[in-house]
Amino acid sequence: MQAPIILLKEGTDQSQGIGQLVSNINACTAIQDTIKTTLGPRGMDKLVYEGENKVTISNDGATIMKLLDVIHPAAKTLVDIAKSQDSEVGDGTTSVVLLAVELLKEAKPYAEEGVHPQVIIRAFRNACELAKNKIKELSVNIEVEDKAKMREYLIRCAGTAMNSKLIASHKEFFSKIVVDAVQLLDDDLDINMIGIKKESGGGMEDSIFVEGVAFKKTFSYAGFEQQPKSFANPKILCLTIELELKAEEDNAEIKIDNPEQFQIIVDAEWRILYEKMEKMIASGANIILSKLPIGDVATQYFADRDLFCAGRVAEEDLRRVCRATGAATQTTVNNLIPSVLGTCAKFEEKQVGANRYNLFTGCTEAHSATIILRGGGEQFIEEAERSLHDAIMIVRRARKTHSVVAGGGAIEMEVSKYLREHALTIAGKQQYLTRAFAKALEIIPRQIADNAGFDSIDLLTQLRQKHDQGHKWYGVDVTNETACDTFANFVWEPTLIKTNSFTAATEAACLILSVDETVRNAASEKPQAGPAMPRGGMRGMGRGVRAMRGRR
């Protein structure tokens, strides 16, 4: 008898076949069960406690997936597609995960009956292409020449994105702010030029929109209050150098013979600092910002000469100031020519809540915007920030594409109907698998209805009837517990969200279906560096030491 061939080392865990595929699908289903209740305007929030009193309350799919810390290798694919959807279009992260898992659930019985996974994958990819083509055919292009219509279109998209968020009750207020912020951006639509600052206190509608750059007043030394707090058309100098005197014994070790030599060193340091500040003043700058500290000597020096300074400015804020005002960050004060200085129409320091903010408005080099969020609790403001980020990403994409479809599950129902009809023209297994893809799409309107407390079976029946009658834009009306024309009710979503969502969900499902074996390598034993730790850890070691002393 031939001896068995040992390929993998002892202890390696190896599982394969249909059982492994079903196990992966079950793991992904557990992820779906966790986040499905967050979908839609009536979705619930999740509270994730991470220890050390760090609590996150959110219904954003990507945020929840990141915080869950998923360890199952197959289920991690869902985390990746949620992150991908978030970085690409900003919204639809919950939908893409639900759709991917629903595709897997629909494929599961076929895999168990012996249909080869590659047959399922091929059918799903073909169905996805048909679905994307149908979405493009159904999409409605918005006229962009009329600025009023364009603004209304963007506001509708922002409002739809906020419907399922914590700030849904203030969506009219925030939709206008989001659209104003995105429309301020230049043609490159750089999302980094929109800053969101959080300030506790007040109500949500006390939030402030600034057409420029704003950041919280930095740590300041004595003499700061004597500096002017308002300038018209100032010259702005941005630095990455430190303007602070330090104790010499902390910086270097110097051997001297008498105290006079130490005084020479101190005087030299003061002289170098004053020379730096004189060069800054000679450049004509009115405002001096630095990424590094600006000490009390420099602060008082600038105050005496009616200049404003701020040290320890966050790198992100300093970068936005440079881009918006045209300033160039300097690492030295030598050769400060006029072209390295930035300018804006107005600079002022303004009280917002319990803190003061530095505002640079009327910037012409590059347009920037800042939203100062107000609100009660810390978790509430953080979730509002995530909601605004999603809405900004949606409006940014909508400004680029000018193409929309109806939300509320309408587009999924219409595409599902189209795929069911198309499946009748296909022979063989592909027909059943295309119908399975069509059925999976119904998870979106079904879950929206379930999360609102409605009878999802009754609503889905109504929607199927309406779509069969040719009403292509009928979706779930969460206000009146019925089906309605969501396009006429201005529940709009950019076409790009849906096409990206369908593509990402299909690719994730196909990736998981293509895995038929998992190999877990045996953990390598690490050699011990020394004697084993006594029982009880460090306390046990302490008791051992005391016992030895007692024996002596």
Mean pLDDT, range 111-127, rounded to an integer: 92
Cα–Cα distance, 124 to 126 (Å, whole number) = 5
Claim to verify: residue 361 and residue 374 sit in the same structural domain? no
The answer to whether residue 525 scores a pLDDT higher than 50 is no
Claim to verify: residue 436 and residue 409 sit in the same structural domain? yes
243, part of any domain: yes
Alpha helices (H) in 306-442, listed in sequence order: 315-325, 378-401, 410-423, 429-441
Mean pLDDT, range 211-228, rounded to an integer: 88
Alpha helices (H) in 348-377, listed in sequence order: none
Claim to verify: residue 390 and residue 351 sit in the same structural domain? no
Claim to verify: residue 137 and residue 168 sit in the same structural domain? no
pLDDT confidence of residue 7: 52
pLDDT confidence of residue 551: 42
Q: pLDDT (tens digit, 9 = 90+) per residue, 237-263?
A: 999 988 887 654 555 666 777 777 677
The answer to whether residue 172 scores a pLDDT higher than 50 is yes
In whole numbers, what is the pLDDT of the chain averaged over residues?
A: 83
The answer to whether residue 287 scores a pLDDT higher than 90 is yes
Give the pLDDT band (50/70/90) at residue 9: low
Taking the alpha carbons at both ends of the chain, their separation in whole angstroms is: 66
Tally of domains within the chain: 3
The answer to whether residue 531 scores a pLDDT higher than 70 is no
Q: pLDDT (tens digit, 9 = 90+) per residue, 310-348?
A: 999 999 999 999 999 999 999 888 888 888 999 999 999
The answer to whether residue 543 scores a pLDDT higher than 70 is no
Pairing, β 474-477 against β 482-485:
antiparallel
Claim to verify: residue 266 and residue 320 sit in the same structural domain? yes
Claim to verify: residue 178 and residue 302 sit in the same structural domain? no
Mean pLDDT, range 397-407, rounded to an integer: 84
pLDDT confidence of residue 4: 59
Query: Looking at residue 294, what DSSP letter applies?
Result: B
What share of the chain has pLDDT > 70, as a percent?
A: 88
pLDDT confidence of residue 549: 39
Claim to verify: residue 47 and residue 188 sit in the same structural domain? no
pLDDT confidence of residue 520: 63
164-168, 249-253, 268-272, 425-429: range with lowest mean pLDDT: 249-253
Q: Which residues have a Cβ under 8 Å from the Cβ of 84 and sit 6 or more positions away?
A: 504
537, part of any domain: no
544, part of any domain: no
Claim to verify: residue 108 and residue 169 sit in the same structural domain? no
Mean pLDDT, range 43-63, rounded to an integer: 82
185-189, 339-343, 525-529: range with lowest mean pLDDT: 525-529
pLDDT confidence of residue 70: 79
pLDDT confidence of residue 16: 61
Cα-based distances in Å from 58 to 78, 159, 164, 424: 18, 18, 11, 42
The answer to whether residue 135 scores a pLDDT higher than 70 is yes
Q: Which residues have a Cβ under 8 Å from the Cβ of 53 and sit 6 or more positions away?
A: none
Claim to verify: residue 223 and residue 129 sit in the same structural domain? no
Give the pLDDT band (50/70/90) at residue 44: confident
Claim to verify: residue 443 and residue 513 sit in the same structural domain? yes
Q: How many CB atoms lie within 10 A of CB 187?
A: 7
pLDDT confidence of residue 522: 56
What share of the chain has pLDDT > 90, as a percent?
A: 35
The CATH number given to whatever domain includes residue 109 is 1.10.560.10
Cα–Cα distance, 485 to 409 (Å, whole number) = 11
Q: pLDDT (tens digit, 9 = 90+) per residue, 422-462?
A: 999 988 899 999 999 999 999 999 999 999 888 889 999 99
Q: Which helix (H) or strand (E) holds 14?
A: strand 13-16
Claim to verify: residue 320 and residue 270 sit in the same structural domain? yes
Three-state secondary structure call for residue 83: helix
pLDDT confidence of residue 253: 67
Of 440, 510, 515, 443, whose CA–CA distance to 103 is shortest?
Answer: 440
Claim to verify: residue 462 and residue 430 sit in the same structural domain? yes
Cα-based distances in Å from 223 to 194, 293, 350: 32, 15, 18
Q: Which residues have a Cβ under 8 Å from the Cβ of 157 and sit 6 or more positions away?
A: 394, 395, 398, 404, 492, 493, 494
The CATH number given to whatever domain includes residue 395 is 3.30.260.10
Identity of the amino acid at 245? L
pLDDT confidence of residue 186: 80
- C-alpha radius of gyration, the chain, whole number: 31
543, part of any domain: no
- Write out the DSSP string of 36-60: GGG-STTPPPEEEE-STT-EEEE--
Cα atoms in the Cβ-side hemisphere of radius 13 Å centred on 509: 32
Give the pLDDT band (50/70/90) at residue 539: very low
Q: Which residues have a Cβ under 8 Å from the Cβ of 102 and sit 6 or more positions away?
A: 32, 440, 441, 443
Cα–Cα distance, 129 to 135 (Å, whole number) = 10
pLDDT confidence of residue 122: 94
Q: Last residue of some domain: 379, 401, 423? A: 401
The CATH number given to whatever domain includes residue 283 is 3.50.7.10
pLDDT confidence of residue 545: 34
546, part of any domain: no
526, part of any domain: no
Cα atoms in the Cβ-side hemisphere of radius 13 Å centred on 455: 5
Q: Which residues have a Cβ under 8 Å from the Cβ of 465 and sit 6 or more positions away?
A: none
* Length of the chain measured in residues: 552
Q: Which helix (H) or strand (E) holds 62?
A: helix 61-68
21, part of any domain: yes
Cα–Cα distance, 367 to 211 (Å, whole number) = 8
Residue that the structure tokens 């918006």 belong to: 324
Give the pLDDT band (50/70/90) at residue 140: confident
Q: pLDDT (tens digit, 9 = 90+) per residue, 451-505?
A: 988 888 999 999 999 999 999 999 998 888 889 999 888 888 888 889 989 999 9
1, part of any domain: no
pTM for this entry: 0.78
Q: Which residue range is the domain that position 272 belongs to?
A: 212-249+260-365
